[in-house]
């Protein structure tokens, strides 16, 4: 028989953990909870540059993990160290490897990166095939920009500034805007996949990035359908 975890109980248990900063959108769950977080592929030291036709950005991916993944893993390991002590919570932790960045972030797709091996019982799943099968949805989201909702503009503005920090200040404004729009559309598509249980049942986002990312991931969904978020310190 599957155990049923009430949202109030789960909030109480998670809320006192040292590794947890905030909790949102939790609801009653039956069965195994699937905590999800995202890993970005590692680029060469030059990072992203303008492609030869000057239609957007390009990059080259290399093996290994980048600095952001190391930081995220540190947060996840701290969380795992605490939640493993809770015998009443059945859970899995899945790292979604953003291999599809090679397809959606650049006007001209680049070579697909390969996911690194993980330890600590963390499953790694590539999002490449899921995204490739739903490129029409990505294009629709890119064009409709669901993150334009007034209620989330504070978070969107912060994310726009954060994304701009990864780009050369002298870069053309239209290329910057295209890249940020592609990133945001990718986040939103992730949220659709999670709600549709593409990466597993009972999805809960582990917030290991900035607080605006889960907001963007939920931006295409009705408020009552938002994927729960456990933001980590």
DSSP-derived 3-state class of residue 92 = strand
* Domains of the chain, earliest start first: 4-232 (3.40.50)
Contact present, 91 and 32 (Cβ < 8 Å): yes
Query: Would you state the pLDDT for residue 1?
Result: 37
Contact present, 15 and 231 (Cβ < 8 Å): no
d(CA 155, CA 194): 20
Across the chain, which has 233 residues, the per-10-residue mean pLDDT values are 64 94 90 94 95 96 92 95 91 95 97 84 92 98 96 95 93 96 98 96 96 97 95 97
Query: Would you state the pLDDT for residue 119?
Result: 65
């Amino acid at each position: 028989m599957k155990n049923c975890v009430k949202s109030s109980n789960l909030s109480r248990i998670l809320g006192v953990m040292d590794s947890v900063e905030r909790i949102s959108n939790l609801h009653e769950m039956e069965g195994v909870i699937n905590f999800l977080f995202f890993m970005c592929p590692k680029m060469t030291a030059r990072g992203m540059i303008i492609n030869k036709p000057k239609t957007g950005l390009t990059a080259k991916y290399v093996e290994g993990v980048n600095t952001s993944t190391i930081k995220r893993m540190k947060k996840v390991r701290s969380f795992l160290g605490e939640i493993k002590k809770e015998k009443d919570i059945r859970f899995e932790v899945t790292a979604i490897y953003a291999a599809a960045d090679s397809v959606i972030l650049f006007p001209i797709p680049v070579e697909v990166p390969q996911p690194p091996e993980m330890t600590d019982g963390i499953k790694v799943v590539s999002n490449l095939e899921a995204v490739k099968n739903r490129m029409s949805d990505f294009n629709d989201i890119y064009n409709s920009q669901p993150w334009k909702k007034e209620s989330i503009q504070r978070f969107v503005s912060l994310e726009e500034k954060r994304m701009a920090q990864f780009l050369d200040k002298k870069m053309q404004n239209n290329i910057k805007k295209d890249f940020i729009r592609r990133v945001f559309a990718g986040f939103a598509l992730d949220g659709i996949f999670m709600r549709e249980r593409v990466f597993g049942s009972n999805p809960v986002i582990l917030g290991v990035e900035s607080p605006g990312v889960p907001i963007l991931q939920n931006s295409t969904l009705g408020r009552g359908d938002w994927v729960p978020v456990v933001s980590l310190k």
